[in-house]
Amino acid sequence: MPLASRLRFEHQLAALVGLLCLVLVGTTAGGAIWIERRAAIRLVEANMAQLAATMASILDGALRERFREVQTLAGLEPMRPLWHAAPATVRTVLDALHVSQPDYAWIGFVGPDGTVRSATQRLLEGASVAGRPWFAAGLRGPALGDVHEAVLLAGLLGRGGEAEPFRLVDLAAPVRDADGAVTGVLGAHLSWAWAETVRRRLLAQEAPGDGTEIWILDRTGRVVLGRDLGSVPFPPAEVAAMAARDRGALAAGTLGEPPGEPMLAGFAVAGASASRRGEGASLGWIVVARRPAALALAPVGAAVRGLSALAAAVAAAGIALAWLIGRRAAAPLRQMTLAADRIGRDPSATMLPRLGGAREFVALSAALRSLLRRLGVAERELSAAEARSTLSTAAYRREIEALRLAVGTDSLTGLLNRRGFTAPAEEAFAQVRSARRGVAVLVADIDHFKRVNDVHGHAAGDAVIRSVGNLLAETLRATDTVARFGGEEFVVLLRGLGAEEAAAVAGRLCAAVRAAATLDGPHRIAVTISIGVAVAGPEDADIQAVIARADAALYAAKARGRDGISVAAHAAIERAA
């Protein structure tokens, strides 16, 4: 064979192995870089969530401490005869509290008619606060008001000329006599500058000079501390989702940052856990901490550059090695190729030569020689195999049919799964198209199911899912279809029902689950469900559109407090709106 042909073959083999080396090294390096970047992003997001949680904990702890101080002072038995003493006597007590806690902007005792009888620095003494919300709430019991701007006190305290408005948090508690009758209200205004001080101190300790910011939102999502004061950076649905999760990371791009400046952020809800445990009032502030991604991921850049340099060096070494392999592999492979080409052309060529050299080529020639000997045996066995395959075909078909049936059934509950639900659902939707009967879809979800797994274990969670699935199937009509779509979610198909009837069925299902319980050993596990309802109409493109509307209604039911139903508007009404 000419030398040029041999060289071209070697070059091709070397190029192929070299390309494979480049792909492997590039893929490995790229994957490592991606993993490193993702790990860094998750770490920063976790740090931001922890920073937000620390800020939320400090704010909530301090606020509850001030709230307890006001309640304790209002309920002290030795103070009962002093409240109606001379204003100067009461003022002495209030001034002492003010000195010990300078975060209070104003503390005052108000009579039941709304007239301020005693106050720190004599501010508002003799004035009427009967129309203030905190006073009306304080007559009824301990009250905690959200952040608001203080116009009157800002002028009296000389805070009216500041760049940002002077804001307060209202605290109030009723003062009662020995018989329990309300004789006045102890009110206090906590300066919101206290929260700014906490924020600056925390940033100086935890994230000095790295561009980290902390925002505080009230329960409606309005910014009460931080950049863009008074703005609402999140839609109501996302605010509700954050309040439900307590803490976590925020997806990039949700904070309205300028283009080219992505942020990594986390959030935490102040007092969420304490409120659920009944340990005191909470304003439900949402603390958001964020850091520029460019600064947070700067350490990853150095690692990426080093890894890229290493990958380039490995790729170059691989290409050189591929060239050497190509040169050494060409000669024995060519010899084997020529010998194999003669078989079938030359009657005298019936066997391949034995190759020498590397152990792999010796083993290859031995294997190919053995292969030629086995070809004759394989040809004889082929006819017998074809006969056996004919007999096996029928058995395979029966097994395939059994598998098709199993694919449509949920293994945990025995109900239909998403695949098995599709056929009856599409058939019912086709009847809607022909205007022969109505069809409604219910999407049900077990409330707080993660808590069941966390407290009782996953085996108990499976038992709860089976129990709820059986209860749904027993409560529904024989003409209805129920399926488990995955996790703790069930989908019900109701035939021949409109919106009112479907809502009534959903209400009965909620009541049935609420009244039932699952026994797990000595434990009795009670759960509730939330249900979204949607009725198919001629405007729906397919049954999936109806399921999607019911799923959206389910989230609305969850947002309203769970253990209830929500009916989705008709598709045509939604487009008109």
Place of tokens 């056996």: 388
Helices 298-342, 3-75: inter-axial angle, 10-degree rounding: 150
> In whole angstroms, what separates CA 198 from the centre of its chain?
28
Output the DSSP codes for 503-525.
Answer: HHHHHHHHHHHHH--EEETTEEE
Distance CA(52)–CA(213), nearest Å, equals 10
For 491, counting Cβ atoms within 10 Å of its Cβ (0-12 exposed, 13-18 middle, 19+ buried), the class is buried
Instruction: Report CA torsion sign: 65, 67, 70, 74.
Output: negative
Q: Which helix (H) or strand (E) holds 530?
A: strand 529-535
Catalytic residue check, 488 = yes
Output the DSSP codes for 103-121.
Answer: TEEEEEEE-TTSBEEEEGG
Distance CA(401)–CA(391), nearest Å, equals 17
**Structural tokens at position 234:** 């999140």
Q: Which helix (H) or strand (E) holds 363?
A: helix 359-407
Distance CA(231)–CA(394), nearest Å, equals 70
Which of the residues 162, 488, 489, 539 is marked catalytic? 488
Distance CA(414)–CA(282), nearest Å, equals 45
Q: Which residue, 508, 506, 509, 469, is CA-closest to 486?
A: 469
Using alpha carbons, list the distances in angstroms from residue 535 to 234, 437, 498, 506. Answer: 31, 11, 7, 13
Distance CA(175)–CA(78), nearest Å, equals 12
Q: Yes or no: say if 480 and 441 are a contact pair by the CB < 8 Å rule.
A: no
Distance CA(341)–CA(353), nearest Å, equals 12
Q: How many residues does the chain have?
A: 577
List the alpha helices (DSSP H) in 148-259.
151-156, 193-206, 236-245
Q: Helix, strand, coil % (nearest 5) of the chain?
A: 55, 20, 30
Q: Yes or no: say if 508 and 498 are a contact pair by the CB < 8 Å rule.
A: no
Rg (CA), the chain: 38
Question: 213 phi and psi, to 5 degrees?
Answer: -125, 155
Question: 196 phi and psi, to 5 degrees?
Answer: -65, -40
- Tell me the sheet residues that pair with 440: 494, 535
Residue 459 identity: A
Question: 169 phi and psi, to 5 degrees?
Answer: -120, 125
Question: 490 phi and psi, to 5 degrees?
Answer: -125, 150
Residues carrying an active site annotation: 488
